Amino acid sequence: MSEMLFTAAIARTLEEEMLRDERVFCMGEDIAKLGGIFGATRGLLDKFGPERVRDTPISETAILGAALGAACSGLRPVVDMQYMDFIMVAFDQLVDQIAKTRYMFGSHCKVPLVIRAQQGVGTGNAANHSQCYESVVAHFPGLKIVMPSSAEEEIGLLRTAIRDDNPVVIFESKKLYKYPKWTVPDDPEFMIPFGKANIVRPGRDITLVTASTCVHRAMEAAAELEQQGISVEVIDLRTLVPLDEETVFESVKKTGRLLVVHEDFEFCGWGAEIVARVVQNVFMWLDAAPMRVGSLGVPIPFSPGLEQAVIPSPNKIIAACRQLMPR
């Protein structure tokens, strides 16, 4: 095991995969000499040269279009989109081309393409750089959606994504970039399978389903609720697509109560999909109506105080859990 920053864990994983497979290469704005604006590709240019660590023009449409062509030609590009907010500029390439190409060619054309970028709230980046797009992107078939909650999860899921023959979008929380050093495994073959959720805290009273940085807020809330006699089972989904329904269903059968927490806006967020599937499949085991905690339906404020009022917090999670319990 080693200790390193989140972005250093990304850089090491990319280096290991590029050494393992010469078809893997990185592309994006300022990722070569600068090493990416967050340092996630730092040092790779010196090791692999400009052919495999490629700076691109400031055109998200061109970046994803070129990455799709490279993937269809037998290479395995890893795209750094910087802020996930920018992916909307290239939405046609993402959902009309990348997501559909393998299906439209009857699986004769593989699309081993990874798109990774940071997103989310809690760092005062204001409305244009604090958005969460996983619910929007997950709506379109053909894309796998990954949401790591730690540097260890990032390593295992990123490696799985690079070796997948389908397009994968990795939503990395900017809040996790700010954490002190993480303890991570040194095994260059460490991988986490897609579609397998992680029960990070067992419990008996409430099933709390979440992902990404909200896992940590959920754990903080669960520890406080335990002192009040409420036992919360916290499930980290890891991936939205594919979705591990069975782990969620079995937990709800045990607890009888469901709370879904995410940074995305509550209205039309992916929490609604989890609630719908639980109601459709394990309704008879529910002892209370499922609940959701997401961001309020307003642009994310720049003011730290206002931002905290809008986004999910341990206190909001605690209040929702208390509401789920019998009076």
Q: What is the mean pLDDT of residues 106-113?
A: 93
| Helix, strand, coil content of the chain in percent (nearest 5) | 40, 20, 40
Global pTM? 0.96
The pLDDT tens digits for 139-156 are: 999 999 999 999 999 999
pLDDT band of residue 245 (cuts 50, 70, 90) is very high
The pLDDT tens digits for 194-240 are: 999 999 999 999 999 999 999 999 999 999 999 999 999 999 999 99
CA atoms within 13 A on the CB side of 267: 4
Q: What is the mean pLDDT of residues 59-88?
A: 96
What is the chain's mean pLDDT, rounded?
Answer: 96
Compute the radius of gyration of the chain from its Cα atoms: 20
Contacts of 327 (CB under 8 A, 6+ apart): none
User: In the CATH scheme, what architecture does the domain 2-184 have?
Assistant: 3-Layer(aba) Sandwich (3.40)
Please report the DSSP string for 82-139 in residue order: EEGGGGGGGHIIIIIIITTHHHHTTTSS----EEEEEE-SSS--TGGG----HHHHHT
Q: Which pLDDT value is given to residue 161?
A: 98
For the domain made up of 198-324, the CATH class stated in words is: alpha beta
> Residue 239 is encoded by which pair of tokens?
């991936």
Q: Which pLDDT value is given to residue 181?
A: 87
Domain boundaries, the chain: 2-184, 198-324
Active site residue 108: no
Q: CA–CA separation, 143 vs 114, rounded Å?
A: 10
Fold identical between 2-184 and 198-324? yes
Task: Out of 108, 129, 216, 262, pick the active-site residue.
Answer: 129
pLDDT above 80 (res 23) = yes
pLDDT above 90 (res 125) = no
Q: Which pLDDT value is given to residue 179?
A: 85
Q: Which pLDDT value is given to residue 122?
A: 73
